[in-house]
C-alpha cells in the first residue's frame, strides 16, 4: 500500500494530523493497533487550552465540543483549609479553558475522518519503520489479522504514544532522552458524583495532593497523591472518598457525595522529552516525543500544538514545494515543549508532598502558594500558561 503520510497511532495527534492534511489535499493512512471501541473508550485528559479548542473548531471537528464542553474561566488553589481562585478571564483578557474529555475528542475525530472517507486501519499494529534517513520513501511494516503488511509513504508521523514503536525509528546516538521521575503517583477515579465546584480545585494538604475535576454535570474525575508503586487493592472506594474529603477540605461549593466508581487506576508521574523530534522523514508528535506530569493539564494540548506545526509544514511541502518548515519542525516544537514542561514541573512542585521534604521545604512551598494567590503578576503567569501559550 502507498500513501503520502503514514501516521502511526489514532490518538489526538494522529487523528488531528490526518484530518488537517485531508483538508489540504494530502493523503494519509492511520495505523492503530487497538480496536475502535478501545480507542474511543480510553479515559484520558479533559482540559483543552484556548488555542487547542480553537484549532479543533477551526478544523470543523468542534461542533459537539461547543455544545457540550464546559467553559472554565478559572481554577481554585486550596491550601490551609481555604480556596483561592485564579481568575483566567480577568488575567488574560477573557481567555478560558474548556473541559471536554479526550475520549470525546477522539470520537469526534474518528467520526469526522470516516465520514470524509479517511483511512484508519484499526487492529493494525506497526512493528517496524525503515528507510527514514535518505531520499527513498520510508517503509512501515504492520501486522493485521495475523498477516504482515507494508505501507510505503513519503513521510512517517509517529503519534503512537510513550510506549509506541516510533521512537525506535530514531537513529541510535542521534537522539537524547531527558527524563525526570517523581517520587509519587496519582490514584485517579472516574465516578458518578456531581461536581463539588463549578471549576477545578487543586488542593495542597499535609496528607498529599488532591485534584477535583469534572467531565459532565453528573460525572467527576478525582485524584489523590499516592506512592508510585502503590497497589490498587490498598485503595478500596471508602478510603479514596475519605482521602478526597480530607484533602479537599470543607471549603467547596457543594459537599462531596460518594458515588459509583466507574474507573480506578494509578499513574506514575514523570517528565520526558526526546530531542530531536525528527529523524529524516520520521516526525514524532504528542506523547511519542514528550510526557508531562498531568498537574498542568497539558498532555493532549501539547499534542495539538505539535500537529499544528507539523500539518502546516507538510502542507507547505506538498502545496508550495517548501521544506523550510519541515526542517525547523523539531526546534519549533521543542521551544514550546520546554515551556510547557517547566510549567507542569512548577505546578507539580507547588502542590505535592515530597517524601524527603522537611519543614524548611514545606514553608517555602506555602510561601510560594501565598505569593501566587496574592500577587496579580504571579497569578497572571499561572493563568497565561494554563489557558495556553499562543501558537507561533
Write out pLDDT tens, residues 24-81: 999 999 999 999 999 998 877 789 999 999 999 999 999 999 999 999 999 999 999 9
Q: Is a pLDDT exceeding 70 seen at residue 303?
A: yes
> What pLDDT does 212 receive?
95
In a domain, 335, yes or no: yes
Average pLDDT, the chain: 95
Mean of pLDDT values over 215-232? 93
Answer whether residue 212 is part of any domain: yes
Provide mean pLDDT across the span 196-210: 96
Judge if 189 and 62 occupy the same domain.
Answer: no
pLDDT category of residue 379 using cuts at 50, 70 and 90: very high
**CATH classification at residue 310:** 3.50.50.60
Which residue, 121, 124, 140, is CA-closest to 132?
Answer: 140
pTM above 0.85, yes or no: yes
pLDDT of 392 over the 80 cut: no
Can you give the residue range of the structural domain that contains 248? 182-269+353-387
- 279-301: per-residue pLDDT in tens? 999 999 999 999 999 999 999 99
d(CA 130, CA 165): 12
Does 110 fall in a domain?
Answer: yes
User: What pLDDT does residue 95 have?
Assistant: 97
Residues 44 and 150 in one domain: yes
Known catalytic residue at 202: yes
Q: Does residue 142 have an active-site annotation? A: no
Q: Fill in the DSSP letter of residue 15.
A: H
Q: Are residues 334 and 228 in the same domain?
A: no
Q: What is the pLDDT of residues 341-369, one digit of tens each?
A: 999 999 999 999 999 999 999 999 999 99
At residue 134, the pLDDT reads 76
For residue 81, tell me if it sits in a domain. no
Q: What percent of the chain has a predicted confidence (pLDDT) above 70?
A: 100
Q: Say if 85 falls within a structural domain.
A: no
72 is catalytic: yes
Per-residue pLDDT reduced to its tens digit, 230-287: 999 999 999 999 999 999 999 999 999 999 999 999 999 999 999 999 999 999 999 9
pLDDT at 285: 98
| CATH code at position 371 | 3.30.9.10
- Any idea of the CA torsion for 229, 233, 237, 240, to the nearest 10 degrees? -20
Indicate if 100 and 224 belong to the same structural domain.
Answer: no
**Catalytic annotation present for 353:** no
Tally of domains in the chain = 2
**In a domain? residue 242:** yes
Active-site residue (options: 76, 298, 317, 352): 298
- Summarize the confidence of residues 162-180 as an average pLDDT: 86
Query: Is 358 found in the same domain as 234?
Result: yes
Q: Are residues 203 and 303 in the same domain?
A: no
- pLDDT band of 121, cuts 50, 70, 90: very high
98 near 269, Cβ under 8 Å? no
The band of 172, judged by pLDDT with boundaries at 50, 70 and 90, is: confident
Place of cell 475519605: 242
Say whether both 158 and 257 belong to one domain. Answer: no
12, 19, 72, 195: the catalytic one is: 72
**What DSSP string runs through 322-341?**
--HHHHTHHHHHHHHHHHHH
Which pLDDT value is given to residue 171?
Answer: 67
In a shared domain, residues 261 and 276: no
Q: How far apart are CA 154 and CA 265, in angstroms?
A: 39
The pLDDT, as a whole number, for residue 391 is: 87
pLDDT higher than threshold 80 for residue 333: yes
Question: For residue 284, is it within any domain?
Answer: yes
pLDDT, position 67: 95
Give the whole-angstrom CA distance, residue 158 versus residue 152.
14
Check 182, 294, 329, 352 and give the catalytic one.
Answer: 294
Given a cut of 90, is residue 173 above it in pLDDT? no
Q: Can you tell me which residue has the cell 478544523?
A: 59
Tell me, what's the pLDDT at 71?
95
User: Catalytic residue among 100, 142, 182, 202, which?
Assistant: 202
> Are residue 102 and residue 21 in the same domain, yes or no?
yes
Concerning whether 391 is annotated as a catalytic residue, the answer is no
Place of cell 508528535: 285
The answer to the question of residue 78 being in a domain is: no
Amino acid at each position: 500500500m502507498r500513501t503520502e503520510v503514514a501516521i502511526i497511532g489514532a490518538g489526538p495527534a494522529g487523528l488531528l494530523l490526518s484530518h488537517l492534511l485531508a483538508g489540504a489535499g494530502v493523503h494519509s493512512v492511520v495505523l492503530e493497533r487497538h480496536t475502535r471501541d478501545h480507542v474511543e473508550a480510553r479515559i484520558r485528559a479533559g482540559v483543552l487550552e484556548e488555542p487547542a479548542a480553537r484549532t479543533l473548531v477551526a478544523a470543523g471537528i468542534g461542533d459537539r465540543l461547543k455544545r457540550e464542553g464546559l467553559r472554565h474561566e478559572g481554577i481554585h488553589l486550596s491550601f490551609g483549609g481555604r480556596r483561592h481562585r485564579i481568575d483566567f478571564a480577568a488575567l488574560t483578557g477573557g481567555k478560558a479553558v474548556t473541559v471536554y474529555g479526550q475520549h470525546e475528542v477522539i470520537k469526534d475525530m474518528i467520526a469526522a475522518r470516516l465520514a470524509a472517507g479517511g483511512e484508519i486501519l484499526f487492529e493494525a499494529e506497526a512493528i517496524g519503520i525503515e528507510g527514514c534517513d535518505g531520499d527513498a520513501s520510508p517503509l512501515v511494516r504492520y501486522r493485521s489479522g495475523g498477516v504482515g503488511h507494508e505501507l510505503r509513504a513519503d513521510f512517517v508521523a509517529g503519534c503512537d504514544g510513550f510506549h509506541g514503536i516510533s521512537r525506535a525509528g530514531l537513529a541510535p546516538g542521534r537522539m537524547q532522552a531527558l527524563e525526570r521521575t517523581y517520587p509519587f503517583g496519582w490514584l485517579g477515579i472516574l465516578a458518578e458524583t456531581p461536581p463539588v465546584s463549578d471549576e477545578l480545585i487543586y488542593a495542597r494538604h499535609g496528607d498529599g495532593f488532591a485534584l477535583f475535576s469534572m467531565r459532565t454535570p453528573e460525572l467527576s474525575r478525582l485524584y489523590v497523591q499516592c506512592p508510585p508503586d502503590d497497589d490498587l487493592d490498598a485503595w478500596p472506594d471508602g478510603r479514596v472518598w475519605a482521602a478526597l474529603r480530607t484533602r479537599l477540605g470543607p471549603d467547596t461549593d457543594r459537599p462531596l457525595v460518594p458515588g459509583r466508581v466507574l474507573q480506578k487506576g494509578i499513574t506514575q508521574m514523570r517528565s520526558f522529552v526526546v530531542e530531536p523530534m525528527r529523524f529524516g522523514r520520521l516526525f514524532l508528535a504528542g506523547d511519542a516525543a514528550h510526557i508531562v506530569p498531568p498537574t498542568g493539564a497539558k498532555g493532549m494540548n501539547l499534542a495539538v500544538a505539535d500537529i499544528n506545526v507539523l500539518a502546516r509544514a507538510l502542507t507547505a511541502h506538498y502545496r508550495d514545494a517548501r521544506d523550510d518548515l519541515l526542517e525547523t519542525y523539531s526546534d519549533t516544537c521543542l521551544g514550546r515543549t520546554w515551556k510547557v514542561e517547566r510549567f507542569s514541573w512548577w505546578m507539580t512542585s507547588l502542590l505535592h508532598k515530597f517524601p524527603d521534604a522537611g519543614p524548611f521545604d514545606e514553608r517555602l512551598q506555602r510561601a510560594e502558594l501565598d505569593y501566587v494567590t496574592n500577587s496579580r503578576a504571579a497569578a497572571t503567569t499561572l493563568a497565561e500558561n494554563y489557558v495556553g501559550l499562543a501558537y507561533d
